[in-house]
Structure 1
Amino acid sequence: MSTGHRMVVTDKRTGKTKGYGFVSFANPSDLAAALKEMNGKYVGNRPIKLRKSKWKERTDFEALEKQKAQAQKKLKLPRKGVLHK
């Protein structure tokens, strides 16, 4: 089973996980296998509950383009200071 992206959601204040996350699959049959094999299995004392997202499908290419655009926005040259006498 190959995955595209994984993300575990954490509380920004405490840094602890919120108990859920997101996984994208490169192959749709991997989603079906995960739903069949993992749904209802226990991690510690909590059962795994899997659901297919209702988000519009996107390719990894689109995600990479979005990531590149965000990185370019963050790259700003430092301002040159003006010295006053």
Structure 2
Amino acid sequence: MKALDHELLEAARTGDAEGVRAAIEGGARADVRDEEPRTPLLAAGATPGLPDGDGVTAPAHAGRRGHMEIAALLRDAGGDR
């Protein structure tokens, strides 16, 4: 993992919006995963099972788009419960 990727995850986890912005602008990968494996949004505390305005959760959206591994990771993180 690149140092900027680590900085992005840490900034997301601690709620440091400026750190997130700087890491992304510096070239950090927004889809990087930590050891859990969580993406920056999940590390920041996003609720993967929270439905959108149409009542559809992130795991369901990912599955509908054929991103089955992502859907499984989101479900494992608490989505669709």
Structure with more helix by fraction: 2
Greater percentage in strand:
1
Normalised to the residue count of structure 1, the TM-score between the two structures is 0.24
Output the TM-score relative to the length of structure 2: 0.25
Say which structure, 1 or 2, has more relative contact order (CA 8 Å, 6+ apart): 2
